[in-house]
Amino acid sequence: MASDTDIQQLEAAALKDLDAASDIAALEEWRVGYLGRKGRLTGLLRGLSSLSIEERRTVGRAANELKERLEEAHEARRHAVEEARVEQVIVGERRDVTLPGPPLPRGRLHPITQTMRDIVASLSGMGFQVAEGPEIEWDRYNFEALRIPQDHPARDMWDTLWIDYEKDGRRPMLMRTHTSPNQIRVMEQREPPIRIIVPGKCYRFEATDATHEWMLTQVEGLAVDEGISLADLKGTLAEFARQMFGRDRKVGFRCDYFPFVEPGMECRIDCFICRGDGCRTCHHSGWIEILGAGMVHPEILANAGYDPERYTGFAFGMGVERIAMLRYGVDDIRHFYSNDLRFLRQF
């Protein structure tokens, strides 16, 4: 049986629930629960049939008025909830455009690039010009013209990556094992005086370990002119070594063999770990080798068409990775090309 009191109670309960509905889903639930086909108000209206006509009229009107009020209240509440939601999104997404942005990770030059630039800067400061040559090379330039014929034991100094080619009538091709072929290339193209350096990648058919990589970077140096002597070579390399490793460095030379220089030698600096006393790093010699060098073999000058009675020259070649390892105290050459950011970020 529906009555005025029922209607008042229903209204109170409905408004209270409506107040508690704080999102669109809860509002919809409320609407279905009160105003829907099986809702509480609808149920109440259905109950009218059991009333007298007189009562039906008054209670019925009251119930219909309640329905209108509840619909209005629902609409208003829906509006408010929606507005609050929009407001929340706006506030939540507000950005302070005056704040500085998040810092971008800063790029830097690879340690080999940095070392290469320092080497080039030092030597070009002494009058050497940069030249370049191909990484794929003829056997002739990489070996033959450098006085390393087929079957010469010195070929073992450079384990070579050969390039497949059709053997008939073609000349053997390889990945250059050092930058020295450019001594020949430059001498073929120019007349003395020559002062050049050639930076570039070289390749060796080699198992990698802490001191060997199958790809390495070298810088070749060549000077040819009248009156060039071993003293010029020593002076140039001593100055270079001190620019790279510090002015207080001791620089030493020792005989070494390379088929394309005579005499041949290695250039070395005093060990910066033990300062010459002998330790593991310098194999207890007190010295650390930094490059190979020597006076250009007169036969090579003659082959280039220069008069070896008139011209003399010196050449040197160094591994950039080795120089970088010594400068930065890196104990494994493989770090340079393993792309580990923890290593690279230190430079």
Binding residues for ligand PHE, per CB under 6 A? 178, 180, 258, 261, 264, 292-294, 315-317
* 315 classed as catalytic: yes
Closest to ligand PHE by CB, 217 or 335: 217
User: Closest CB to ligand PHE among 111 and 292?
Assistant: 292
User: Of 178, 185, 297, 322, which is the active-site residue?
Assistant: 178
Is 214 a catalytic site residue? no
> At a CB cut-off of 8 Å and minimum separation 6, what does 139 contact?
171, 172, 173, 174
Query: 233: how many CB neighbours lie within 10 A of its CB?
Result: 25
CB-nearer residue toward ligand PHE: 31 or 185: 185
Task: In angstroms, give the least distance from the CB of 146 to ligand PHE.
Answer: 8
Report in angstroms how near the CB of residue 107 gets to ligand PHE at its nearest: 31
d(CA 20, CA 38): 21
Q: Quick one: 14 or 233, whose CB is closer to ligand PHE? A: 233
In the three-class reduction of DSSP (H, G, I as helix; E, B as strand; rest coil), residue 195 is classed as strand
Min. distance of Cβ 167 from ligand PHE in angstroms?
Answer: 27
Q: Phi first, then psi: give them for residue 121, nearest 5 degrees.
A: -65, -45
Q: Is the dihedral of CA 218, 257, 278, 281 positive or negative?
A: positive
Determine which one of 21, 131, 198, 261 is catalytic. Answer: 261
Catalytic position from the list 2, 145, 219, 315: 315
Is 342 a residue of the active site? no
Task: Please say if 158 is a catalytic residue.
Answer: yes
Which one of the listed residues 131, 198, 218, 320 is annotated catalytic? 218
What is the per-residue DSSP string for 106-140?
PP---HHHHHHHHHHHHHHTTTPEE----SEEEHH
Q: What type of residue sits at position 271?
A: C
Q: What residue number has its CB nearest to ligand PHE?
A: 317
CB of 337 to ligand PHE, least distance (A): 19
Please return the burial class of 230, using the count of CB atoms within 10 Å of its CB with bins 0-12, 13-18 and 19+: middle
Active site residues: 158, 178, 204, 218, 261, 315
